[in-house]
Amino acid sequence: MENNSAKKLSLFAITWPIFIEMTLHMFLRTADTFMLSRVSDEAVAAVGVANQLIMFMFFLFQFGSIGATVVIAQYLGAKKHDQIHKFSGNALSFNILFGIVVSVVIVSFTSFYLGFFHLTDELFAMARTYMLIVGSALVLQAMMLTLAAIIQAHGFTRYTMYVSVGMNIINIFGNYVLIFGAFGFPQLGVTGVAIATVFSQFLGVTANFIILYFKVKVKVRLIDYIKWKKDRLMKILSVGVPAALGQISYSASQIVTTGFITVLGPDMLTTRIYTLNILFFVIVLAISLGRGTQIVVGHLVGAGEMDKAYKEAFRSLKWNISLCLGVAVLLVIFREPLLGLFTSNPLIISTGAVLLIMGLILEPGRCLNIVLGQTLQATGDSRYVMLVSVIIIWAFSVPLYYVLGIHLGFGLIGIWIAFIVDEWIRGIYLLQRWRSGKWRAKALVKQEEDLKESV
């Protein structure tokens, strides 16, 4: 695959395994929650509190993984195969070291973090146990993300999907055995969930290393892990850091928004949760197509085929909007039965139904954001995407959530209107950036060649 040109990468062939993989990751968390609910609501609450911090760390590890995807895709497109193992080694060792540091910090400050939630002694003990086990192994999550990024950048997205399938099966089986004490194993409850999670991650990392070396055939040598080169790390981080900061900023804004919705009462908070659960497949579809486009465009930009990259982004965008709108229409048609699966509360069902109808306006704007955001990152223009996200969200969108939802009294409908406006404004800015062509000068390989010529 390393010897194939960017032209031979199929967007569909790359995207569908990513969609399955992301769906499985979500299913993994849902399975944990469902199986723990058979133990007690307290166990679910304890793991939920702990996972808030674990998920935040997941975003931090994007520093290395997103940067690795873009850089390696561009170098593959430029057919500079002799550099791939060096970038791979540096990206992996950076995230491994970062993962170790994060693991140490999480374990050291677990009690301090949990103290903010004023948990009962029973909940505190369960949450602390879960965080100590899963937190100490966060380095595995860091390795998993980076390995998957390198493999996917080569176009081998099916193999990372297979690993996710295997991890899900092992994790669910491990949950069953260790939560309920099956086959003579001890009945460990929350501790069992943590052990099953870490064990499945360890096997996943092992499998991805095997795929990297023997299928993708990226022979990362020991010296590639140890010998860091400043310009290689800077290329990875120049894309990865802004991308990760943009995601962290968006997640933080959603936490603030949740606080606004909490003021509206538990029914509205529950409505938002159920509506987002129903919209989950639309969101994952958009993100999957965005990641697939990122890989294809990265190869094209690395190969210097800027015009093809330009057209590929718009082709992907049309597919994304069409597919997401198609799914959104189905959700609107069956909106009340779908909401009825979660609740019989008429207020939640009626409000959620309105939000799903509003999704027909929301989804095209969200698609603009996701596809063009990841496409611009693929060219190396990650900083612009971050600035648009951070400035618009915090200077305009978050205040608008409050004004429409709380101050003017439009409630959750008002907040949803603000959400639509936010997605469209950011999407239009990214669309203008893509049309301007300023991203063409951001290509990492091109910058390297221009520097050599000037010297």
19-23, 295-299, 308-312: which range is least confident on average? 19-23
Please check whether residues 202 and 248 belong to one and the same domain: no
Same domain, residue pair 309 and 367: yes
Final residue of a domain: which of 175, 195, 228?
228
pLDDT tens, 253-309? Answer: 887 887 888 888 888 877 887 888 788 888 888 989 998 999 999 999 998 899 999
Specify the pLDDT at position 455. Answer: 41
Tell me if 66 sits within 8 A of 240, measured CB to CB: yes
**Does the pLDDT value for residue 165 go beyond 50?**
yes
Whole-number pLDDT of residue 451: 43
Residue 211: exposed, middle, or buried by beta-carbon count in 10 A (0-12, 13-18, 19+)? buried
What is the mean predicted confidence (pLDDT) over 433-444?
Answer: 90
pLDDT digit string, tens, across residues 87-123: 888 889 988 998 899 889 888 988 887 777 666 787 7
Asked whether residue 19 falls in the same domain as residue 75, the answer is yes
Lowest-confidence pick of 235-244, 306-315, 318-327: 235-244
Q: Is residue 2 one of the residues assigned to a domain?
A: no
The CB density around residue 318, as the number of other CB atoms within 10 Å, is 12
Looking at the structure, tell me whether residues 272 and 189 fall in a common domain. no
Residue 155 lies in a domain: yes
Is the same domain home to 175 and 201? yes
Residue 64 has a CB neighbour count (10 Å cut-off) of 30
Residue 386 above 70 pLDDT? Answer: yes
Q: Is residue 365, in this structure, part of any structural domain at all? A: yes
What are the helix (H) ranges across 215-229? 222-226
Supply the pLDDT for residue 5: 38
Instruction: Express each pLDDT in 406-438 by its tens digit.
Output: 999 999 999 999 999 999 999 999 999 999 999
Q: Identify whether 135 is part of a domain.
A: yes
Q: What is the pLDDT of residue 7?
A: 39
Domain stops at, among 167, 202, 228: 228
Q: What percent of the chain has pLDDT over 70?
A: 89
More confident residue, 449 or 113: 113
Q: Please check whether residue 234 lies inside any domain of the structure.
A: no
pLDDT tier, 45 (very low <50, low <70, confident <90, very high otherwise): low
Residues 220 and 288 in one domain: no
Which pLDDT value is given to residue 187?
81
pLDDT, tens digit, 9 for 90 and up, residues 188-243: 888 888 899 899 999 999 999 999 999 988 888 888 888 888 888 888 888 888 98
The verdict on 273 and 373 lying in the same domain is: yes
pLDDT of residue 366: 93
Residue 441 lies in a domain: yes
User: How far is it, in rounded angstroms, from Cα 174 to Cα 194?
Assistant: 10
Mean pLDDT confidence for 66-76: 88
Query: Residue 435: inside a domain, yes or no?
Result: yes
Stretch 386-400: mean pLDDT: 95
Same domain, yes or no, for 182 and 250?
no
Q: Tell me, yes or no, whether 165 and 265 share the same domain.
A: no
**Confidence grade of residue 360 (pLDDT, cut at 50, 70, 90):** very high
Instruction: Report the distance separating Cα 360 and Cα 363, nearest Å.
Output: 6
* Total domain count, the chain: 2
Question: Looking at the structure, do residues 250 and 200 belong to the same domain, yes or no?
Answer: no
Is 455 part of any domain?
A: no
Residue 453's pLDDT is: 46
196 and 312 assigned to the same domain: no
Report whether pLDDT(172) > 90.
no
Same domain, 291 and 416: yes
pLDDT of residue 44: 66
pLDDT value at residue 375 = 94
Question: 428: domain range?
Answer: 239-447
How far is 332 from 349, CA to CA, in rounded Å? 12
Q: What angle do CA 409, 415, 420 make, to 5 degrees?
A: 140
Last residue of a domain, one of 204, 228, 252: 228
Above 50 in pLDDT, residue 384?
A: yes
Report the distance separating Cα 214 and Cα 202, nearest Å: 18
Of 142, 80, 190, nearest in space to 445 by CA: 80
